[in-house]
Amino acid sequence: MPTTPTAEQARRYADRMLVEIAAALLQRDHRRYRVVCDQVYTSPLDPQAVDAAVSHALEQAVQHAWNSNWRPVELDHTLRRYAGRAGAPKSAGNWMAQLLADVTASRMRAHDPSTVDRRWAAELAAVEATVWWQDDAGQLAQFGARHSLERLKVLGGAFELMRWLYQELPPLEHAGHAPGAPVRPRRAASAATEYADQRMLDRIRALLAKAESTDFPEEAEAFTAKAQQLMARHSIDHALVDAAAGTGDGPESRRIVIANPYEGPKAMLLQVVAEANRCRALNFRDLGLSTIVGFGPDLDAVEMLYTSLLVQAIHAMTTANQRADRYGRNDVRSFRSAFLSAYAHRIGERLTEVREEVDAAASVGTDLVPVLAARTEAVDTAFEDLFPHRVSRTSRVANAAGWASGRAAADRAELAVRSPLPATGER
C-alpha cells in the first residue's frame, strides 16, 4: 500500500518536476514540457509544496531574463504586447503581468540592495513590484484569491509565463546595471559636480514641465527650446571636463519603451531627439523597444526631452483640426500617424538648430570642435559595435493633411529658439 510522502519528500519531488519543466523549455522539448505540466496538474502532492516549487521556478526564469539583459519595465511592456497578439483577453494580460511583477519582487530579495541602481529601483516601482503577500509558502494561493482565479488557472499562467521567459525573449544588448551583475568601474564625480548636475537636471525638468502644462503651443515650444539649450550646454561642459582630465566613462546604452499606438512615428521622434543630442538610436519594432547609445549626460537629456515632447505631440495631435479629403474620407489613424511623423521630422530639425547655435557660441576661444568630434566618433564606434548587422527601414506617409498639420504644430515657435544662452552663473 503506497505511503503518503513526507513534507520534505513532497517538496523535493515538486522541485524535480519544475526543474524538468525548465530543462524542457531550455531544450525546446515541447512534448516533454506539456507532459510534465500535466503531471503537475494531476499531482497528489500537497498543493503548498507544488506552489512553492512553481514560485521558485518562476524566480529562476525571471533571473534568466535579467541575465539576458531584460529590465523590469521592458518585460512588463513586452508581456502585455505578447498577450495581446496571442489573442488573450486584456484581463488575462493584466493578471499575467501582475504575476510577473510579484515574481520580480520576490526575486529581488535574493539581491543585496546596494547592487540595485536608481533606474532599476524606479522600474520596480513603475511595474508595482512589491511583496504584498503574507506567507511565501502560500504566495500563489494568495495571488489566485486576490485575482479571483482558480488554482489550475494560476498554475497554467505560471507555466505559460515560464515558457515565455525562456523561449520568447531574445537576448538583448547590455543596458544599465542589473542586480547581482558585476559593477562596471565608473569615474567618481565630486560632490560639487554631482550637485551642479542635479541643479541643471532640475532646471531642465522644470522647463519641460512648463512646456507640457501650457495650453499655448508657442509657449510650449519656447520652453522646450530653452531646455534643449541647457542640455546642449550641459553636454559641452561634461565633454570639456572629460577632455581636460583625460578620462571619462565612455558611451553607454539605454533602452526606451515605445508604446502603442503609432509606434513607428514615436520611434522616429526618439531617433531625432537622440541625433540632436549626439546620440544614436535603433528601434526594435517587433519588441516595441528602442536602444539609444551615447554619453551619460546626453542619454539623460534624450530621455527627458523625448518623454516631454511625446506628451506635447500627443496633445497637439488630439487637438488638431482634421478634415476629410476631397473624396470625403476621414481616416483618423493615417492622419495621426502622418501628424506624428511630421512633428518628429520638424522637431528634429529645430533641436539640431538649437544645438548647433550652442556649439558655435561655446566654440569661440576654445578647442571644442575636436573634443566634440572625438565624442561623436566614440558614440558611432560603440553603436556600430553593438549593432553591426542592423537593417534600416523607411516609412511611408499616406496622409498629406496629417503631415502638414504635424509640421505646422512643430514649427509655430521657430523664432523662440533664438533666445540667448544663459550666463554661466545661471546654470
pLDDT in tens, 40-99: 999 999 999 999 999 999 999 999 999 999 999 999 999 999 887 766 777 778 999 999
Q: Using one digit for the tens of pLDDT, what is the confidence trace for 130-176? A: 999 998 888 999 999 999 999 999 999 999 999 999 999 999 998 88
Residue 85 identity: R
pTM, 2 dp: 0.82
Q: What is the pLDDT of residues 6-57, one digit of tens each?
A: 888 889 999 999 999 999 999 999 999 999 999 999 999 999 999 999 999 9
Contact criterion met (CB below 8 Å) for 260 and 83: no
Query: Which of the residue ranges 108-112, 217-221, 353-357 would you say has the lowest mean pLDDT?
Result: 217-221
Q: Would you kindly state where each structural domain of the chain is located, as residue ranges? A: 7-168, 191-426
Query: Any long-range contacts for 383-390 (C-beta under 8 Å, 24+ apart)?
Result: 383/251, 383/280, 383/282, 383/293, 386/173, 386/253, 386/291, 386/293, 387/173, 387/282, 387/291, 390/282
Query: Which residue intervals of 164-262 are DSSP H helices?
Result: 191-213, 217-245
pLDDT surpasses 70 at 392: no
Length of the chain in terms of residues written: 427
How far apart are the C-alpha atoms of 426 and 151, rounded to whole Å?
61
Give yes or no for a cis peptide into 370 (omega within 30° of 0): no
User: CA–CA separation, 375 vs 236, rounded Å?
Assistant: 10
Chain position carrying cell 532640475: 202
